[in-house]
Amino acid sequence: MNKNKKLVIIGAGETAEIAYEYFTYDSDYDVIAFSVNEKYIKNDKLFGLPIVPIENINKLYPEKKYDAFIAVSYTNLNKNRTKLYNQVKEKGYRLATYVSSQAFVWRNVQIGDNCLILENNVIQSNVQIGNNVYLWSGNHIGHRTVINDNCYISSHVTISGFCNIGSFCFIGVNSCLNDRINISANCIIGSGAVVIQNTEPNKVYIGNPATPMKKKICNI
């Protein structure tokens, strides 16, 4: 594979290590360095590559020559990743998207920047995926579904056609959404939940059929 683009991965934890593997062995990007906020730097290298402070990133790796990828998990309902996404984008970087060569993505699917789409995802016709969205492995995303910005879809999730996933949502392992379901912003859908009706914002849904927990999601 021709490595004709250079990439700085933002992050140095497990998600960053996973991103390094996929970008290195299944993309046209050459990973050059990792970067985190200076106060979080514990080591100076990862996989033999430098870990540099975000505060100095433009001087070390100019935005006109390097792309970036924010490799942070769903902590704080994707808010931590989104904060870094905005910070790096304001510095002028183009944010890379990774789509596995082992994913099925129909020709008219729209995908934003800083997305991570791993192996065995099936993404059907006319799906729209916003910015800063992670789809872990083995999901089904039905036709005409919209996944808005800053979401995290874990593994083996079935999202039927014409659904709408609001921003800052987390969809748990093995959960299932009927067709035409609207998941409001800032929701958590628990593992194995079966969603058969629209949700309200800022709530956690569990069970089959999925029902909201009494406690709302606060301070997010």
Residue 32 contacts residue 46 (beta carbons within 8 Å):
no
Domain ranges of the chain: 5-90, 97-220
SS3 189: strand
Whether 220 shows a pLDDT value over 60: the answer reads: no
214 — pLDDT class (breaks 50, 70, 90) = confident
Taking the CA atoms of residue 59, residue 23, residue 139 and residue 141 in that order, the dihedral angle to the nearest 10 degrees is: 60
Residues 50-84 pLDDT 10s: 999 999 999 999 999 999 999 999 999 999 999 99
Residues 114-152 pLDDT 10s: 999 999 999 999 999 999 999 999 999 999 999 999 999
Bin 126: left if φ > 0, else alpha if -120 < ψ < 50, else beta: left
Sheet holding 128-129, edge to edge: 110-111, 128-129, 146-147, 164-165, 182-183
Residues 184-210 pLDDT 10s: 999 999 999 999 999 999 999 999 999
Q: Do domains 5-90 and 97-220 have the same CATH topology?
A: no
Whether 156 shows a pLDDT value over 90: the answer reads: yes
User: What value does the mean pLDDT take over residues 167-179?
Assistant: 98
Sign of the alpha-carbon dihedral angle for 165, 170, 173, 176 = negative
Neighbours of 206 (CB within 10 A): 16
Give the class (CATH, top level) of 97-220.
mainly beta
Residues 44-63, buried b or exposed e (16+ Cβ, 10 A)?
eebeeeebbebeebeeebeb
Fold for 5-90, please state it: Rossmann fold (3.40.50)
Q: What is the pLDDT of residue 218?
A: 57
Report which secondary-structure segment, H or E, holds 19.
helix 14-25
Average pLDDT over all residues of the chain: 96
